[in-house]
């Protein structure tokens, strides 16, 4: 792991830094590179604008570990309202949620009840509910939640991370469920025995896992989603999809708001199904630091964006 990436990931865990930076005007300006605003309406406005350009979108409210189940219920109720709004406006938007926001640290059963309510409402809105994967200590619990949800909700998706050494086995165990899987590289600080520390190994693991998902999709046994901004890697994956006869609509590409916007538009023009992941909320610091850590060169981009033109 590079020194810059390690430093950014350490910073993401600092409550003191989060409190300091969240109140700084320059930091709020910088974070707007990755999110249209802190309010839900800011995010929904971006969803509508992107829909006009033939993009789908995925919404997520920032925030992670909670202190009480009543807080998790409040998050659930917020997302229920979001799903109702999506349905009313007819925007091609889905929702992605973190188990830690819905109470997994406090009660796995309560977290499942919250997720079950959201999956039911997402189905009525015509979309998929996406369950995010957090750091490696949550993998087993999140997989269990997903299996329970999938038993009664066909349109529920799960995120898997290619940098975790265990992911090939996890994917193989999930494929009999005909899963929707959003494959990402991973953005948490992990020990070398848990996750690949070298980027090239993470990239190759991503490509291999993508091939496994596409092979399953060719037989109608999975819905793959590739969450990466690595255009070279996406080129290899789309080529493999064509070789296997997997049509463009049978998989998606998910990319973050504000990153490689030109490439996102080019993918749409080429007929790919692209969704833009849009985050909102006040608890953006840890998420923002992890976004920078994914590609530390983004730090210089942010610095330049803050300088007078």
Is residue 191 part of the annotated active site? The answer reads no
The SS3 of residue 180 is strand
When the pLDDT of each residue in the chain is averaged and rounded to a whole number, the result is: 88
Give the pLDDT band of residue 294 (cuts 50, 70, 90): low
Active-site residue, selected from the candidate residues 33, 121, 182, 275: 182
> What pLDDT, on a 0 to 100 scale, did the predictor assign at position 37?
84
Residue 305 has pLDDT above 70, yes or no: no
Alpha helices in 197-245 (DSSP H): 199-218, 231-244
Task: For residues 285 and 305, give the distance between their C-alpha atoms in angstroms, rounded to a whole number.
Answer: 18
Task: For residues 95 and 125, give the distance between their C-alpha atoms in angstroms, rounded to a whole number.
Answer: 11
pLDDT tens digit sequence for 29-43: 556 677 888 899 999
Residue 138 has pLDDT above 90, yes or no: yes
Query: Would you state the structure tokens that stand for residue 307, as one six-digit string?
Result: 């300088």
Domains detected in the chain: 36-280 (3.20.20.220)
> What pLDDT, on a 0 to 100 scale, did the predictor assign at position 158?
98
Is residue 182 part of the annotated active site? The answer reads yes
> What pLDDT, on a 0 to 100 scale, did the predictor assign at position 301?
47
Mean pLDDT of 211-227: 98
pLDDT tens digit sequence for 20-29: 455 655 555 5
pLDDT tens digit sequence for 65-90: 688 999 999 999 999 999 999 999 99
Residue 249 has pLDDT above 50, yes or no: yes
Q: What one-character DSSP code corresponds to residue 103?
A: T
Comparing 14-18, 56-60, 269-273, the range with the smallest average pLDDT is 14-18
Residue 203 has pLDDT above 90, yes or no: yes
Q: pLDDT above 70 covers what percent of the chain? A: 80
> What pLDDT, on a 0 to 100 scale, did the predictor assign at position 304?
46
Identify the sign of the CA torsion 10, 168, 59, 296.
positive
Q: Which residue has the higher pLDDT, 195 or 299?
A: 195
- Exposed / middle / buried, residue 198 (Cβ in 10 Å: 0-12, 13-18, 19+): exposed
Q: How many CB atoms are located within 10 Å of the residue 90 CB?
A: 11
Active-site residue, selected from the candidate residues 132, 170, 203, 230: 132
> What pLDDT, on a 0 to 100 scale, did the predictor assign at position 7?
59
């Amino acid at each position: 792991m590079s020194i810059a990436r390690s430093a950014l990931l350490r910073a993401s865990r600092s409550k003191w830094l989060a409190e300091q930076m969240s109140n700084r005007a320059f930091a709020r300006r910088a974070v707007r590179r990755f999110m249209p605003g802190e309010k839900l309406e800011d995010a929904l406005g971006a969803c509508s604008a992107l829909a006009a350009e033939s993009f789908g979108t995925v919404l997520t409210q920032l925030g992670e570990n909670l202190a009480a189940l009543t807080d998790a219920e409040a998050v659930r109720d917020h997302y229920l309202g979001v799903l109702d709004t999506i349905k009313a406006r007819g925007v091609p938007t889905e929702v992605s949620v973190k188990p830690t926001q819905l109470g997994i640290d406090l009660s796995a059963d309560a977290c499942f009840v919250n997720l079950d309510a959201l999956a039911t409402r997402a189905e009525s809105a015509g979309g998929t509910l996406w369950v995010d994967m957090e750091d490696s200590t949550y993998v087993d619990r999140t997989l269990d939640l997903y299996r329970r949800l999938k038993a009664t909700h066909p349109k529920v998706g799960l995120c898997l991370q290619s940098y975790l050494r265990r992911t090939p086995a996890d994917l193989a165990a999930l494929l009999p469920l005909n899963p929707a899987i959003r494959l990402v590289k991973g953005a948490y600080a992990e020990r070398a025995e848990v996750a690949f520390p070298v980027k090239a190994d993470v990239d190759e693991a991503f490509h291999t896992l993508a091939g496994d998902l596409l092979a399953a999709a060719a037989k109608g046994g999975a819905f793959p989603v590739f969450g990466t901004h690595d255009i070279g890697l996406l080129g290899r994956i789309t080529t493999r999809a064509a070789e296997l006869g997997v049509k463009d609509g049978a998989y998606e590409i998910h990319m973050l708001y504000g990153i490689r916007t030109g490439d996102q538009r080019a993918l749409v023009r080429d007929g790919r199904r692209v969704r833009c992941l849009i985050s909102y909320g006040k608890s953006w610091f840890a998420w923002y630091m992890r976004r920078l850590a994914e590609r530390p060169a983004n730090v210089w981009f942010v610095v330049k964006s803050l300088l007078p033109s």
